[in-house]
Structures are given as structure tokens and as C-alpha cells.
Structure 1
Amino acid sequence: MNFKKLNIAPAILKALAKENYTTPTPIQEQAIPAALAGKDLFGCAQTGTGKTASFAVPIIQLLSEQPSRPGAQRHIRSLILTPTRELAIQIYDNVKAYGQFTSLRSTAIVGGVSQKAQERTLQQGVDILIATPGRLIDLMSQKLIDLQHVQILVLDEADSMLDMGFIHDVKRIIAKMPSKKQTLFFSATMPPEIAKLVKTLLVNPVKIEITPVSSTVDRIAQSLYKVDKGNKQHLLNRLLQDKSITSALVFTRTKHGADRVVRELNKANIAAQAIHGNKSQNARVAALSNFKSGATRVLVATDIAARGIDIDELSHVINFNLPNVPETYVHRIGRTGRAGLSGTAISFCEFEELPFLKDIQKLIGKNIPEVTEHPYPMLIMTAAPKEEPPGRQAAARPAAKEGAGTAPKANRGPNGKPSSNAKPSSAAKPNSSHPNPNAKAKPKPKPKWVARGSNAGR
């Protein structure tokens, strides 16, 4: 099948051809006709399946059929909500490309940058708005955005918005829109909270599920290294000495972990940058741009930030930390092996991550091939003690220590009390000229009464 058979307008077909789109993906093939018919839609599909075009193309066509009157103020007629800045910018680029031969205007509203330029664009009028929830609510509270004219709402990566705690913001945003509108809802996974949200937001939706999360892409070569936590960085540095790894997206569990991995890679003369929520928007854009251009060979990311990363020729995905949600593993490795190319996924597993590995292998229905011949095999087979948060370690130590005002163990009797016959050690002998620096000064007794009229107790 080609795009012409989906009843797409000539102006959009021209744009798709210019962008080298020839054959629709399965989700595009099913979603575009349903959306063009004005139906609500629920699509469950993992990353890399072509979701953006499946909702952007129908939006552009439907709004183009109702052009704004010349000279009239443009209103926001479609809102696309997405969890991350990178994904919002990526969607905006695609919408602009698909609608390049139409008169529609679109823009992206994201946090992390000054809102002045965004204000100017909004004042000029926008048909399609792509936004992250936080910045959108900020501008709505400043009366700079009006959603009363929205006809089509898209919630993209809804499960990620749920994970990031945006769901209450999303509900506040939806409350400012007309109750009668078309809603297109997309999620990579289907947790119970998402199923509940679908029931409350969609009316008789068309349900589309593409590439179930229980199946991995067959052309991706997967491998597993069991390694102690303290040796993961050494193993990563060693693997990246292989020049056949032309580009690698490395996943860590935390933002601080991502920064730490980047520091160690740079020390080993391996060009790497991190991308996560603590980075400024300009830094994130620069890191992603450098990675796409090949200036940076390794990009280290957290799962949330990586939702906006779309790179066709990504050779390797490396799980520095295994995810505790098995579906996340599928989405991670699905970022390589795109556009018909082969890809490789490498995973590190420490002892405490073995339960995660078991869940992942149960989900994908097969064991990940293990590489046993490597210089850092797993040796620690017990759970590590939980680390005390900084600042609490001193408080957790026993207060009584030798030389800290208590009798030394050598001067104690069999019942544990100080022995009257034992001679005090030199450390414990009183010295009037040199008082014990560890001994605490006794507080002065408080007066039992204060004379009436005296200022002493005030």
C-alpha cells in the first residue's frame, strides 16, 4: 500500500514524497483513515513505529479543509501534548515538514528556555500547538493561551506523562477545552491508569495495537554481561574501544548516574555527553545535535529524556542499568535497528538486577544470550547494604566510643561496669592543666526562682 490509497490530500502527499515517505507503516495505515473520519483513537505502539505521522497527517488535512478567513485572528485548533521537550521539538519539525505546502501555522511551547519568543509566535496566531504540560500551564495562567477553539487533541506518550506526574496537569488542561472534540491518544504501554484514562477521555474509540511489547525486533542482536556494579564503568570503557560501535545510546537509571558515566568516558578519551531533566534546554538540544551529527559518539540518557530521541542510524543501545519495568527494555532496544537496518543491544546486569532480568526475559519470551568470556565477571552474589543518605551516617554511629568520655574496655569489670580496682589509663587520668578536650562542659544549673521585678529571667 502507498499513501495515495489513504485518501490524503495532494499537498500533504507532495510533502510526504519530498520527505521520502513511500509506504505507510502499520499504525499509519490503520490510524490515518480513522482519524480522517473524525473518530477518537487509541493507539498502543512502541517507539519507532511511525506514530507522529499517524496523527499529524490527519490533523493537517482536517484543519486545511477549514482554512482561517484572510485577516482573521488564528486560534489554536489542535493541541498536541507530549511529555518531553525533545519529543515536542521533534513533533514540531515533523508537523512543519508534512504541512509545508499548506497555509497552516504551528509552533512548539516547551520549558527550559525564555518564553518571550514563544509569546511573539502565539500573538501572530497558531493553528497547531505542540506543548509540554508545564510550560503550557504557565502560559495559560498568564492568559497568553486560549484553548476554547481546540477541535483535535493529541496525547502522545501518555504512559510517560503518567510516570512523570503530569496527569493532573493534563486534566487541568483538558478542562479548559470544549467538551466536544476529537481525541487521539497514544501510549507505548497499557498500565491500568492509562486504561482508566482512555475510558474517561475517549468516545467509542478505534483501538489500534501495533507490535505488542512482548515481541522484540528480530533484527536486533541482543547480548548480556553479568558484571558487578563497581566494574560496569570499566566494562563500558573496554567495549567502547571497539570502533565498530559507531554510535551508542547508553541508558542509566538516574540523572547523576548519567553524569558520572559521561565524566568517566571523557577521562578515557571517549566523546560522550549526557541528556536528562537537570540539563538546560540549550544543553539538551546541543547534546542531541552533536550525537546526530556524529560529533559525539556516545549519548548517555535517562528513560524520560530519551523519549524524544529519534535516530535512524543508531548502531548500539547499551543498558548500563537494567530497567525495573520490563516493557521499558523493549522500548530502549527498539531505538536501534530502525529503517530496515540491523542493530545491537548490550545489557549489563549486576546481582541486584537479576530479578529485572528475569522479568524482561519472561516478557520477551526468550533468554538474552550471555557473554561469559569477559574480564569483569560477576563475583558479588549478595545484595549490597543500603547506602545511608549523606549527613545521616555520623548520626547513625554509636555515640559511646573509647576516649569519648567513657571508661575504656580494659578498665571494665566482668559485669560491664567500671572496676574500682582497675587503674585508669593515661588517656583517662584527670589533668587540671590540660583538660580532656573530648569531655563535654556541664551546663550551669538554672535558677530555681527569679525575684519579682528582676530582668534576669526575661
Structure 2
Amino acid sequence: MAKGDDAVRKKQNKTNRKKLRKNDQSSSAVSARVASIIAAKKRRHSGKRRKCQGMCFSLPTLDDPFNDRNGAKTFERKTTKKEMLPRNHEKVFFNETSKETLRNSEKVDNPGQEKETVTSLKDKLKKSLTSINSTAQKSQIDPGRKKTQLNGNGGVYGHHGQVSENLDCPSKYLIQCLNSIENSLRCDGTYNNEEDKPLFVSTWGVEFWKCYSARKDILETSGTSSTIEQIAWMVSSAADSISRKDEEDLSVTSPFLLFLVPSQVKATQVRSVCRPLKVLGIHTVSIHPGASLDHQIEGLKSSEPEFMIATPERLSELLSLKAVDLSGVSLLVVDGLESFYKQGCFDKINSIRQSMSGKTHTVVFSDCYRHACVRGLQNLLMGSVHRLSLNNSVTGQSACIVQSVNICLMKEKLPKAIQVLDQAYGGRLRPQASKVLYIVGKDNKHHKLVNALKFKGYSISPDSVFSEVGNSVESKGRARPAVSMIDIDQIGTTELGEYEVVIIPDMTLSIEGYVQILTRMARYTVNGVLHSLFTREDAELAGPLTKILEQCGQAVPDALRKMSFS
């Protein structure tokens, strides 16, 4: 007996329902509302309708000429649009996530005590942010709202237009990025802070944000490589810059941040910190020898990452194949300069740096004091530099300062002091050359040094001890470089950070004074040189000076070492 039409129709409907359920289970990314719209569209195209749609009949109208809605009225809902303040006016230290983190981290039973803890952390962060760094003052940056002109091809400096930035405190978006990273790492168990404090109250992070906002290249000398806390602040600051550009309708070239790491293990660590930012629209790729080259080339073609983590060897191969474009990199992080030195990657890093057009903000982590490492740093950090460190050790504070000890006789001191000055100016009298400082005693024999400098064409700076003697005779129509001179008692009150070259003609000061000069000079450059003239009469300081040179990885003259043994 043949089946009726109703039985056939029921069987077909049952089959269709099974297919729909199977599709719903397989594609979990499609919501129920979207699935219903897709099903209705398929029924409309096939000419079939539901039972209820077949029973209802309505005529086409002017609003619905094709009768797609079947006479159903469209109800207009009143939507209230929130007026969002611009990011430039957001001054946020805490949000709901950070408060919950504080409550979980600070195990306090008393609500009043908990409130006092949150308030104390607020005050601590505000005090740290309101203390304007001296480097920001030197760069003449207004602590309020400042507009920075963008130029070049990419990155923070690489687009035409202007970006407004608020330097009072980190933005709400930056705090949100830090909280997302912290929550994710705490769930994985990879972030265990001894003090159990949130990331956004980090002292290092606040100092880094100040330098990053001031567009200063940063030299970090507290360790060989970056920590999770430091990585979180760097990637969050970069994500905040990208968000600011999006609000200004400025396109961000890819990649924005380039993180150079020495190994695949370090790349995995950095990638784990950047992964929570994916939900905020920040895509990260990792380039290392652990994957095939063809696979990475195809991945780079299909994606446009904002952050790139790479080893120099693999990235150099991709650059040679023209598989990646680094012209728009705005922030370059070189993590672990000593590891790169041991691997012999300085040439590859220099070629990677040269492939970036425009001005790139550079951050270097290094506690390597070898001469080759210093040369590598000088190639990477060519502008004004801010030194950032978590400790106050002599080696960390004196990083990249070359200590030159010249052993000579007493009668050779004066011509040797002039020779050192000529070498500092490259043999030419250049007014724009490095600032030079002589540290002398109070005895009258230094008047001979002043007269000799004047005879060679140098002038004495007005703030020097011997300014009247030095400027008594002027060369006719000759521009002469200014040399500063102070006595030993003025070391504590003189701003030594602006002097790249310091010369000590007589070692009449104590070893504590020598260390004070070494740790305070050349704060804004990696080209600092400290010259000292040493004679047999100064043999008492030979032993302590030898220890400082060895501790800082500097070359110790054989004559000085023999004096220290004797």
C-alpha cells in the first residue's frame, strides 16, 4: 500500500530536523538566533513555508512590497547610547577586576582593614605617578595633555596626524590589559608573586611607563633577561598605543611590537603573557626554529599580527626571503644581550634593526659589560637613553661606561690630560661634541692645566671653578669647545648625568668618590668614558680600583695590577 502524502511529509520533516540538530552541534560558534535566520532563508529560497506561515495571509504594503515579513509589524526599541569619555581624559587606577584581585590577594577578614589596604595601594600608586621623572623634564614634556606629531612610515611615529596622550597616569585600557594577563597567569599557576600584589602597582612598571610615554630608549640593567612582570607592562603599553591609534582613525602597520628572544623557551614564555590579549584584539605570532620555514611563511601571509616574537636567526631568514615587513615596527625589545653575544647574533640584530624605517622605540635588557656588548648597545641605542634597574649595584649603574686608567709619570700628567681631551673631541675642535668635565683639586698647580687648555683652543665653562682664568684670553673669531672643571668638594652637588666624558687628572679623591662619579655620570647615553691618570704616588688606591675594574668587566692594566700586589 502506497504511503500517503502526510506520511512522506512527516518523514522528510524528521530527516530535516536531524540535519538541523547535527549542524547545531557541529557549529557551536553559530548562535540559535543566527541559525533560525539561516533556516528561514533556506525555506524562503526553496519556496516552502512553515505550517503557521501557510495559514496566515497578508497583502504586500509600501513598507514591505515583497511581503517578506508576512504582515508582521516591526517594533522600534528605544536605545540609550552611553557617552564614553575619550581615552585621553581617563584617569583610572582601579577597576572592578583589580579590586577583586586585591580582595583575593590580600586575605583580610575585617572589611575596614580591607578598605584601608585598597586605599593605601591607591595612594602608593598615585604618589609614584605624580613624581615626575627627571628624564621627562629634560625632554620638555608637559605632564598634562600633550600632542605628539607623528611622522615616518609606521608605528608610534609612523603616521601622519596627531595623537593626544595623557601623561598623568596609565589609561583604563592599559590597566585592563594588565588585569587580563594577571588573571590568566594566576589561573595557569605561572605567576606567583611573593608580595602577592597586582601587576599595576609594580614600581618597575610605573617607571617603564613614564619612559615609554616620554619616547625614551630604555636600557634595563637589573638582569640578563626580562621577567613576567616586565613583559606584561611592555606588551600592555604597546597594546594601549595601538588602541589610541584606533581611536584616532590611524592605521597600525603590522607588526607593531617586535620582541627578539634568544631561544624558543623564552619565546614560549613571552607568548604565554601575550595570549590573554587576544580577546582584546591583539594578535601575536611566534617565529622560531621549532617550526618549519614554509609553515611560518604561510602563516604570516594569512595573518596580520600586532605583536611578533622571534629569534634573530629565523627572522633573518624570513627577511632574506621578503616574507615579513618590519618597516612599521614602533617598539623593539631586545631581551638578553649577553645570550645574543654568546650566540654571535649581533650582525643579524643590526641587519634587523636597519630594516626598520622611521624612529623605533628600543628597549634592551642587558647586564653584559664586555666591550663587544657595549659596541652592540651603541649600535642599538643611538638617541637619548634612560637607565632602568631594580637594584643599585655598581655594575648595574655603571653599565656601558668605559673606565680608562692611564698609568704615567708625575711629569707626564699635564700633556696626558690634554691628549685625553683631544681624543674625546676626535682631534677636532667641535662645539657640538660630547660634554667634558675635569675633576681637579684645590691646589694652584691646576692653573697650568687651565692655561694649557686655553692655549689649545678650549674655553672653560662659566660654571667651572677656574672660569675667570680660562676665559681671560679669547681666540680671535674662533669657536672653542667649552670644558667644565670642578673641584672634588663639588662632586655631590654637580649634575654629572649630562657629562659623557669625565677626566680625573689627579687621583687625590677617595675610592668612594670614584664610585660616586662612575655611577652618576652619563645617565642619558651609552657612550660614557671615565678617564683617570694614575701614578706611583697613588698606589694606595691600586687595590680597590683593580677590584672595581674586575667587578665591572673592564680591562685592568698590568702596571696597576702589579701596584695592587705590591
What is the TM-score normalised by the length of structure 2? 0.35
Higher relative contact order (CA 8 A, sep 6+): 1
Structure with higher Rg: it is 2
What is the TM-score normalised by the length of structure 1? 0.42
Higher normalized helix content (fraction of residues):
2
